[in-house]
């Protein structure tokens, strides 16, 4: 049996012209010709799937205005999202950065669209719009760790220094979680940073130790960030030998990480 993307002679006449254009975009996407795919998808202005993929591609290029126009159209037509992707059996799963160290997989669904819009708004400084997207998602999916992580990261990156009220909000939001993935470890990392702001340093160290415990297969940058934060808290606890041991361990793997070299007097 041939690919669903290989339209038969009669199919080419029976399906709408715009759908044929979307199929051409799918074909280009499958073979990695992203430029041709994008051109095709942007010639299908009434297809939610085409607009979603075009939006994600424009977002990757940091063309925020065009990306948001596509993604908002897809969101307004979410009942149609995924229809052509499913019909033509095309796998469309794209990576979306959630924090500097952690990415998540997004599909042409409401969740993926709101996460992508959040990324675009946050990237160009529209924090209130980003927060509105995430708070909407969090109400709908309160147990989704990716949504929670995205919201926690936004709350904490929006304040410098972090206020006690936001720190308390983050600790309450994250609650008690297990270190089951990079996403969970990152949540524990941010929770520990919030505990540190609240002066609960022993609890923060304990949280970071659990987050660091499962290193196999985890993102190395995330593990370094966890270890670095733990070193800072050891310093706050006046445990200088432990702090130095952490900094030395980080330096051995990544001499240019943060300000580790200067902290070691190098």
Question: Domains of the chain by range and CATH?
Answer: 1-92 (1.25.40), 93-158 (no CATH), 175-266 (1.25.40)
What is the predicted pLDDT for the residue at 14? 62
The end-to-end CA distance of the chain, in Å, is 64
Average pLDDT, the chain: 92
- Please state, in angstroms and rounded to a whole number, the distance separating the CA atoms of residues 22 and 115: 23
- Percent of the chain at pLDDT > 70 equals 95
What is the predicted pLDDT for the residue at 218? 87
The three-class DSSP label of residue 96 is strand
> pLDDT tens for residues 7-40?
543 455 467 889 999 999 999 998 999 999 999 9
- Please state, in angstroms and rounded to a whole number, the distance separating the CA atoms of residues 206 and 169: 19
Specify whether the CB–CB gap between 227 and 212 falls below 8 A. Answer: yes
Q: Are strands 103-106 and 94-97 parallel, antiparallel or unpaired?
A: antiparallel
Grade residue 100 by pLDDT with cuts at 50, 70 and 90.
confident
> pLDDT tens for residues 43-75?
999 999 999 999 999 999 999 999 999 999 999
Residues 100-126, mean pLDDT to the nearest whole number = 94
With residue 97 as reference, give the H or E element that holds it: strand 94-97
Instruction: Report whether pLDDT(220) > 70.
Output: yes
Report which DSSP code applies to 177. -
């Amino acid at each position: 049996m041939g690919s669903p993307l290989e339209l038969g002679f009669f199919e080419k006449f029976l399906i709408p012209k715009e759908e044929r254009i979307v199929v051409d975009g799918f074909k280009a996407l499958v073979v990695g010709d992203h430029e041709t795919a994008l051109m095709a998808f942007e010639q299908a202005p009434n297809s939610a799937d085409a607009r979603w993929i075009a939006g994600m591609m424009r977002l990757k290029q940091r063309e925020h205005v065009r990306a948001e126009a596509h993604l908002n159209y897809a969101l307004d037509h979410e009942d149609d999202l995924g229809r052509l992707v499913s019909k033509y059996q095309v796998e469309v799963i794209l990576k979306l950065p959630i924090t500097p160290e952690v990415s998540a997989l997004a599909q042409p669904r409401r969740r993926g669209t709101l996460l992508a819009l959040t990324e675009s708004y946050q990237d160009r400084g529209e924090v209130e719009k980003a927060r509105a997207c995430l708070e909407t998602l969090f109400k709908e999916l309160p147990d989704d760790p990716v949504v929670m992580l995205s919201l926690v990261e936004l709350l904490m990156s929006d304040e410098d220094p972090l206020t006690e009220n936001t720190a308390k909000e983050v600790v309450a939001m994250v609650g008690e979680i297990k270190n089951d993935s990079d996403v969970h470890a990152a949540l524990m990392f941010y929770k520990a940073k919030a505990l540190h702001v609240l002066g609960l340093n022993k609890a923060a160290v304990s949280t970071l130790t659990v987050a660091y415990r499962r290193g196999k297969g985890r993102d190395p940058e995330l593990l370094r960030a966890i270890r670095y934060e733990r070193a800072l808290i050891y310093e706050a606890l006046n445990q200088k030998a432990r702090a130095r041991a952490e900094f030395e361990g980080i330096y051995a793997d990544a001499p240019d990480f943060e300000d580790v070299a200067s902290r070691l007097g190098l």
